[in-house]
Chains A and B, each alone.
Chain A
Amino acid sequence: MNTAAAAPGRSFRRLPEDIMNIGLPEELLHLEAVRSLHQGLGRLYPEVRWHHSQPRRSEAPEVIISEGDACFPFKKTIRTSCSLAGRADALLVPRLVRLDGYLMCPNFRGLPDLVALNLERSSSEPRRPPLISPLIDEQGPGGRRGSLKQAMEALSGTLGLEPQLDPALALTEASNPEDQSTACPGKGCIALLGHPYMLGDKRLNSRIPEIIRSRGYRTITPESVPFARLDRLASERDYYAKTLYWRFARETLGGYIYFSREQPVSGIIFLVSFNCGLDALLRVELAALHRRSEQPVPLLTHVSDEHTQQEHVVTRIEAFLDILDGLPHA
């Protein structure tokens, strides 16, 4: 196996068995495009050992640069990335610009640069692995293949690893999205809307999906519905050229319409983080849609990091579920 292309003056920890360790922050893995990239790279380079989670609290990473009033998921991603740097031979933080032809939030464009600025100023030098930040900019339907290929080439070029599989094969297999059932047995379904990391990360969503499931409801997310369908629903709200141009804002808006009209659920919970710029505007739009609906599905907007204790979150969710239990259609 080839070793990483090390920058002068930098040293890397190498395990005895000479295993290449790559860090990829867990928050990004909630995005399907990054999961695909990760799976593809896993097939191409089976000898690589991947690391995704932050270490224990006692080993909390040192973050030099203040992220100011950025949202909690953004801060958490930077911190996870910095913590992984200490354990990895290379750090993979893709620069996500556009998915499925729609834009990502500006924070994703600047994320690799902020991670780099933190690493460069970290006092734990010279343990600073190279930062690989392939550009993921899917401008059209065929964009996924091109951007994944570019990402893999960038990774191979920087680390000098030889792929052990035909990249075209890895790409094809990696591009298959996961399938989710949309059936709602038992008490019914609660649809969870929000950015994928809000829906999937327990620290970010305050374990709300678990609370809901413990009360006998099934949780369902827009990921179970093809994005093209959600996109068509979201486009009902576009006018002239005034398109809602963020990828996950469209998924959330389309998801709201889908779960309130196409496949009505018992209730909808919109999980947002404080200061999320996109969700701030979507909250206005969803509230307006909810008010205008003749038979609105109960909607709760939950700002996860506004609560200081888990008990507050549990009480809030239980109150919402109590309302649903009392409704005839629940």
Chain B
Amino acid sequence: MRITFPNLGSMHIFCKAIAKAASIPYQLPPPTTDETRELGEYYTNESVCLPLKIILGNFIQALELGADTIVMVGSGPPCRLGVYDRTIKTILDDLGYSYRWLTIPGLFNWQAFLQNKAEADQLRRELTPRNYLAFPGALRLGWKKMRCCEQLEHAAMRKRAVAADPRQVDQALKHGLQALDEAASLKELSTGAREALDRLKSLPETGYSPLKVVMVGEVYTVMEPSINLDIERRLGYLGVEVHRSSYFSSHIRRGSRLDRRLLRQREQLLSLARPYLNYDVGAECNVSVAESVQAAQEGFDGAVHVYPFSCMPETNAAAVLSAVGPEIGLPVLGLPLDRKDMDVRLNTQIEAFVDIMHMRRSGRSA
């Protein structure tokens, strides 16, 4: 057995930690490149969303390197993410690959249990008592690593906007994530996280008051830099502090439904979208609208709405935000993403967006 998982933000760090600590062999997919995307494009069609194409490319590359068990993040209806596994399996079967598939459910319910039962039964026979004994500790280490990665990414988004040299932030973030990746125990992890945060804090600052934007949109697009064309970094280099609520830990905590406070907060947040959307369209559509409204109320300078081209729920959110933005006084940059060849155009769009926010802040009309 050799498990693999898609590239999704810093997910590989904590998935790897769980596999390593539980002594389960793993195979990371190579970093996402143009070749990864092209593989996904070749075996699908033009209207399939970008995350599916990239994930398919990740899996093909990992299977070629020897992986035989795919672990995939799942979701529910009505978004297409809920049937990604079905579609990707169809393609991989057609290509003749031999593999097993496990879906990490978006919601921990009976359906989630059933989705994995047959293959989990098979895998269970391959696991040794040592794997089982190590698993609780491995999960704990993985969860802590996830939280530390998110904390570090969060701090880097803020620091990049005010750093005298934002490239140093990228260097510090890279080294910090590497230290977290290499940490073999909770103690090493704690030390590594503290040192990485201290290193970030110690970097010299410009003293300027940064622009603040909220990044909303489809989960995968918000979290994966190779999908969103590293928009956080691009904005940071232009002196913009990026905030987002989409993190792995928040999705897992919400999916587990254990934290009632989190669910109540979510319900309150969604009420902000109700003047414009009277029904849950699905996936993150209503959240994208609600978080933009909340950002306007909290004095943010703008919102960046990222989503894959042809994403059904987010297309609705984009239409609503195009109407709501001017009314609530919040510039909204909508970015439907599909191909990588929009690099230079994206820089131009972002620069214009930042100019508008600066003009608004200084009291000039945009």
Contact = CB atoms under 8 A, between A and B. Distances in A.
A1 B86 CA distance: 54
Interface of B: 44-49, 77-80, 82-83, 85-87, 90-91, 93-94, 110-111, 114-118, 276-283, 285, 309-313, 315-316, 318-320, 322-323, 334, 336
A285 B90 contact: yes
A8 to B, nearest CB: 18
14 contacts: A66-B322, A67-B315, A69-B315, A95-B278, A109-B316, A110-B279, A113-B278, A113-B320, A240-B114, A240-B115, A274-B46, A275-B47, A283-B47, A291-B94
Contacts of B111: 241
B323 A65 contact: yes
A227 interface: no
A289 to B, nearest CB: 9
Interface in A110-156: 110, 112-114, 117, 121, 133, 135
Contacts of B320: 65, 110, 113-114, 117
Nearest to A113: B277
A109 B114 CA distance: 28
Identify whether the interface residues of A are mostly helix, strand, loop, or mixed.
mixed
A244 B80 CA distance: 10
A110 B316 contact: yes
Contact of A68 (B278, B279, B315): B315
A165 interface: no
Given A114-B320, A241-B114, A242-B85, A288 B47 contact: no
Given A106-B283, A274-B47, A69 B278 contact: no
Given A106-B78, A106-B79, A276 B47 contact: yes
A245 B82 contact: yes
Contacts of A277: 47, 49, 80, 310-312
A274 B313 CA distance: 16
A57 to B, nearest CB: 23
Contacts of A112: 278
Contact of A117 (B117, B280, B312, B323): B323
A183 interface: no
A280 B47 contact: yes
A290 to B, nearest CB: 11
A197 B277 CA distance: 24
Interface string A87-108: 0000000010100000111110
Contacts of A121: 323
Contact of A288 (B85, B94, B280): B94
B115 A241 contact: yes
Given A280-B47, A288-B91, A245 B78 contact: yes
Interface in A60-85: 64-70
Interface string A268-295: 0000101111111101110010010000
Contacts of A288: 90-91, 93-94
A246 interface: yes
B279 A244 contact: no
B311 A67 contact: no
B83 A281 contact: yes
